[in-house]
Amino acid sequence: WETCWFRVELCVPPAWAGREVHFVWESDGEAMVWRDAQPVQGLTKEGEKTSYILTSSLKETEPHSLTLYVELACNGLFGAGKGSMIAPPDPDKRFTLSKAELAIFNRDVYELLVDLEILLDMAQHLGEENQRSFQALYAANQIVNVCDVRDPATFPAARRLAAGIFGQKNGESQHTIHAMGHCHIDSAWLWPYEETIRKCARSWVTVVRLMERNPELTFVCSQLTLASVLWQAQQFEWVRCWYPGLYVQIQDYVTKGRFIPVGGTWVEMDGNLPSGESMVRQFLQGQRFFQQQFGRICSEFWLPDTFGYSAQLPQLMRGCGIRRFLTQKLCWNLVNTFPHHTFFWEGIDGSRVLAHFPPGDSYGMNGRVEEMLKTVKNNKDKGRVNHSAVLFGFGDGGGGPTQKMLDRMKRMRDTDGLPRVQLSTPDRLFSALEQESSQLCTWVGELFLELHNGTYTSQAQIKKGNRECERILHDVEVLSALALARGGEFQYPVVELQRLWRLLLLNQFHDVLPGSCIQLVVEDALRYYQEIRKAGAELQEEAVRSLCGELLQPHSESTESTLLLNTLPWDRTEVISRTGATGAETLALVTAPSMGYAVVREPLLPPQPVLVSKREDGSITMENGVLAVCLDTTGRLTSLRLLHSDRESVPDGCPANQFALFDDVPLYWDAWDVMDYHLETRKPVTTLLKPLEITQAGGLRGSATFSLRIGESSSLTQEIILDASCPYLRFLSQVEWKEAHKFLKVEFPVQVRSTNATYEIQFGHLQRPTHWNTSWDWARFEVWAHKWMDLSEHGFGVALLNDSKYGASAHGNVLSLSL
């Protein structure tokens, strides 16, 4: 992924005195103009920015000769995909510089063209039943008649005709649109993290130039981005480190209230998969950054482009000083149309925030008449509220607003027949909505996106890395807190922990953790996970040495001892593997207190050892006094009984631990989607490579192992383990995956009847239906969960736990985990 540099020597003819002079640059790749060692303008043909204004009126005292540098990236706004936008980058793709020249810009012609564009759009989109459409059409016709393109003296008369239309005002009841400049920049997606740093600079310096020429412009920044743009704190930190001169300018506009930080999180994270602690850290790091850099925290949570929103978010928002929420992503629903654009959103604990979805269903509008009319027509809360947002500017790959977008909306500020369009701020929008909120409806629970269900499963190594690193950092915090509380010389690793948390939070960006990014980004993410694992292990060791240093010292007595650490908030009694003095691995049944440690010299004796036996038909049974298990020769679970109730969990003829392979051919978004029709292609995995065999014969642990062939080229090996005194059965699975456009799941039919299944989410749980009575139920054919899902009836239930998966479903009595 490369950039190249051009040195451009310019010489402006003296005859151009008094004229507006532009440096014109047209290239396939994104470009940045540098002047006097500072970035001054982003240029991109896709983002309709192809010129840098050298002077608005050339004066004799201005330099007529100057040197510019242009940094040209080998990617467009949307990367460098081969054949389509979301294809992998093409290493052989060529980018062309098609124009580099000096030009006189005719401002009068430009203004007249914008007038005509607005009038013609009014004529086209207001409709034949609206008198204003004909007035606009006739005004445009008169302009064409009056204007002589060869005679600039005719331009003022033509512009007066347009002003006559734009000067006719609206009535007081007209809908008010709060237009905010916006520049959504994905921190990584079709380009690596490193390119995003340059995208931020190109986009934000362009907004700064617009603000200089348009005093009314504000920009809202959600990823720590701009004042009528959005800011992710991480992106702001990148600009602070790499472009300090630009950062100072941005800080100045923030102070003036024109560059407006919103969002409140470190990055625009995925709204489903991060743990509760991770989400809290997103807000903690983001709000702390805003407070330190700008003297204020955000009151709006701005997350326009993630793939659904957890029911826990309202409580987390309120706890972090945020009471307002904006997104638009649910307009992407494939099945049901979400019924509101402005409403109260209530979380699982009853916390409520005011939510607004821009009715134009976009965060990258162009300021066209059609978009303003759509915003009013689409609004599903007419009568309840009379205000809504329009977010304008090129986004996803950056770019932001343009001068033409601003000039279009200036003409629609208060024009009869069109909604009122005012350049506004998030605070003014939400303040107006709060004043009108008495009749708003309330939506309770998750905001589930009926699309992109495949992101719960794509890129298994990223999902595993996220879960592991969340656990590692949790354990480091617990052990460090215990070591600090014990006294002594231990120093809490504040700086290093913040660095590691920020790496993890960065990888939770809404195209990285979901797996909807290019391979270069995956490689970066896996490298960051490895760095967290390594540094986290070192921090754990330091904390343990401080906490239990004397217990780790060798003693004269020969009795072997084991130090146990328990970072979970309940006592645990489990079978562990430990290394003896000879280096041999042995098993021991031990117990450790909640959030504490213990030294074990004599392991416990189990109330009943694990009994393992093989029957004549090749099936294997295991029993430990709590559970009784039977496995067939292919590793499927044919019986699972809770002994004290003698209740069978597996239905007759429907074995559990059944692997199934599905076709995975979505309509378009390959890494994002799994469509409902994949369920029609189910094929049970039954081809044995190695039949079930006993691997541990009982005592403290019993286990059996088997191997299956999956599809044409893949394989799976699984060890099924039952430990002494353990109330659950473990399945250790190793998959060698070489399939394309296939989807592997494991299914557990259970003898439980319930209309709802329960799924773990951040700091709580959520119930979803197990039936498909309505289209809203059916659209949840594939959902997300964290560490467990449960199907229960009164007095009995079965739970399925996992250590690194998120995709799941429960239909009827079948619990499925997507692998």
What are the catalytic residues?
305
Contact between 815 and 789 under an 8 Å Cβ cutoff? The reply is yes
Which candidate, 51, 158, 146, places its Cα nearest to that of 109? 158
User: Which residues are paired to 32 by β-bridges?
Assistant: 42, 71
Residue 62, both tokens: 């201005």
Which candidate, 198, 235, 185, 241, places its Cα nearest to that of 5? 198
CA 691 to CA 660: how far, in whole Å?
18
- Let me know how long the chain is: 819
Paired sense of beta strands 714-723 and 701-710, if any: antiparallel
CA 450 to CA 331: how far, in whole Å?
9
CA 263 to CA 184: how far, in whole Å?
12
CA distances from 577 to 553, 560, 586, 692, 795 (A): 21, 14, 6, 23, 34
Contact between 226 and 181 under an 8 Å Cβ cutoff? The reply is yes
Which H or E element spans position 404?
Answer: helix 403-411
CA distances from 559 to 555, 556, 562, 587, 600 (A): 9, 9, 10, 16, 10
**Residue 400, phi-psi category: left (phi > 0), alpha (psi -120 to 50), beta (remainder):** left
Which candidate, 450, 310, 454, places its Cα nearest to that of 806? 454
Look up residue 577 and give its amino acid. S
Which candidate, 654, 656, 674, places its Cα nearest to that of 664? 674
Helix 233-242 vs helix 276-294: angle between axes, to the nearest 10 degrees?
Answer: 50
Phi, psi of 544, rounded to the nearest 5 degrees: -65, -40
Which candidate, 661, 807, 658, places its Cα nearest to that of 737? 661
Query: Taking the CB of residue 469, how many other CB atoms lie within 10 A of it?
Result: 23
CA 197 to CA 654: how far, in whole Å?
53
Paired sense of beta strands 688-699 and 610-614, if any: antiparallel
